[in-house]
Amino acid sequence: VDGSANGTGTTLYAGTTSIPTFLSQGTYYLYDTTRGPDYIRTLSANGQNTLPGSYVTDADNNFSASNQRIAVSAHTGAVQVFDYFKGTHGRSSYDGNNASITSTVSYDDVPGGDGYNNAFWNGQQMVYGDGDGRTFSPLVELDIVAHELTHAVTGASAGLIYQNESGALNEAVSDIFAVMVDRDDYRVGEESYTPGTSGDALRYLDDPPAGDQPDHYADRYVGSQDNGGVHINSGIANKQAYLMMAGGTFRGQSVQSVGRGVTEKVWYRALTRYFTASTNFAGAREGTLQAAADLYGAGSSQARAVADAWAAVGVG
C-alpha cells in the first residue's frame, strides 16, 4: 500500500495475513519486502539511543503525525536510494547481494538533551538525529539518506579508510552519489541545514568554499581534526565531479561537461573496481581515468574531461 503520507508509491506493509509473524495484522509498518532484500525497514529510537528502536506504525496507513513523517522521509529515501543503485548501476542493495536495510530515526546521543545534529551509517544500519532545530531540522532529506547509504556501499566495496585522503574520498563519494540521487541541485543538506536560513546548504559541490571546504589540492587541510579533514578535503573531489557534470573553466583549466550520466558511471566503476582502502587523491585520479577508459575509450572526450577536471583541482 502506498505510503499515503508521502505518495511516492513506496510499498509499505499493509496489515495482511502474509506478514512476518512479529508484525501485527491490521497495522501498517514502514517495512518493504517487495524489492529483493528480506526487508527495507524504518524504525524510531524515540529520542533515546538504543538501536534499532521500535517500529513506526499507523492504523490506517496515513503516516501524518510529525514523528511519522520523519520516519516516512527516511524510509522513502532509503527505498529511492535502493532503486537508484539497482536501476542505474545494477547493484542490489549496498552490498550487491540484497542485504536488508534498516534505518532508525529520532536517535539522540544525549537523551533529553538537544536533538542530535548528525546522521551516520554505523556499519550495520543508518541512524538519523532530529537536529536541534537551529543547526539542523530532522536529517532525513533525500540527499542525506543517499549520503549515508553510500557510506554502506563504500564500506562493502572499496572500504576507503575514514581518515586523511582516503577518508576525504569516502566523504566525497557519499556527497557525489547524494547529488546523483537527489538530482535537484549540486548541494547536500539544503532542506534540513539551518532551518532559520533559506538558500544555504551543508555542502556545495559547485562551490565547496561556500561550505568552508577547499576546492583545490593546494588548499587541502593537513591537520588532525575531523579524522584528518574527511569532511573538509572532500571538497576537492566534489569539485572534480561537479566540473565533470557541469563543465566550466576553473583556475585556468577548462573542462568539457559530460553530464551526470557519465559522471555517475565513471565514479561508480572507479569506486567498485579500482579504489581500495588506502586510495588517495592521486589514486582516485588513476581509478576514474581507468574507469572512463573502460567505458568510453582512453582517448575519449569523457576520459579527457576526467583528466581535465582533476587537473583543475590540482591533482595530476
Ligand X SMILES: CCC(=O)Oc1c(C)cccc1C(=O)O
Q: Which residues are catalytic?
A: 148, 231
Nearer to Ca ion, 6 or 48 (CB): 6
Nearer to Ca ion, 130 or 143 (CB): 143
Q: Tell which positions 110-169 bind Ca ion, by CB under 5 A.
A: 143
Nearer to Zn ion, 174 or 279 (CB): 174
Rule CB under 6 A: choose which of 43, 56, 71, 119 binds ligand X. 119
In the numeric block, which cell numbers belong to residue 262? 557519465
Count the neighbouring beta carbons within 10 Å of the beta carbon of residue 18. 7
- Find which of ligand X, Ca ion, Zn ion, none residue 262 binds, CB within 5 to 8 Å per kind: none
Place of cell 536560513: 197
141 binds ligand X (CB under 6 A): no
Single out the residue of 144, 151, 143 nearest to residue 125, CA to CA: 151
* Interface region with Zn ion, contact rule CB under 5 A, candidates 82-90, 110-118, 169-177, 238-246: 169-177
182 binds Ca ion (CB under 5 A): yes
118 binds ligand X (CB under 6 A): yes
Distances (CA, A) of 246 to 68, 78, 208, 236, 257: 37, 27, 15, 15, 5
d(CA 237, CA 231): 11
d(CA 121, CA 48): 17
Nearer to Ca ion, 113 or 261 (CB): 261
- Find which of Zn ion, ligand X, Ca ion, none residue 232 binds, CB within 5 to 8 Å per kind: none
- Find which of ligand X, Ca ion, Zn ion, none residue 41 binds, CB within 5 to 8 Å per kind: none
148 binds ligand X (CB under 6 A): yes
Q: Tell which positions 174-213 bind Zn ion, by CB under 5 A.
A: 174
DSSP reduced 3-state for 169: helix
In the numeric block, which cell numbers belong to residue 213? 571546504
Size of the site for Zn ion (CB under 5 A): 1
- Find which of ligand X, Zn ion, Ca ion, none residue 105 binds, CB within 5 to 8 Å per kind: none
* Interface region with ligand X, contact rule CB under 6 A, candidates 59-67, 118-126, 205-213, 259-267: 118-126
For the four alpha carbons of 151, 154, 160 and 165, in that order, the dihedral sign comes to negative
* Interface region with Zn ion, contact rule CB under 5 A, candidates 86-94, 166-174, 249-257, 265-273: 166-174
d(CA 293, CA 147): 27
DSSP codes, 86-111:
HHHH---STTSS---EEEEEEE-SST
Single out the residue of 298, 235, 232, 291 nearest to residue 267, CA to CA: 291
Rule CB under 6 A: choose which of 147, 220, 269, 285 binds ligand X. 147
Residue 215 is which amino acid? D
In the numeric block, which cell numbers belong to residue 172? 566525497
Helix count (H) and strand count (E) of the chain? 8, 12
168 binds ligand X (CB under 6 A): no
Binding site for ligand X (CB under 6 A): 118-120, 139, 144, 147-148, 171, 188-189, 202
Binding site for Zn ion (CB under 5 A): 174
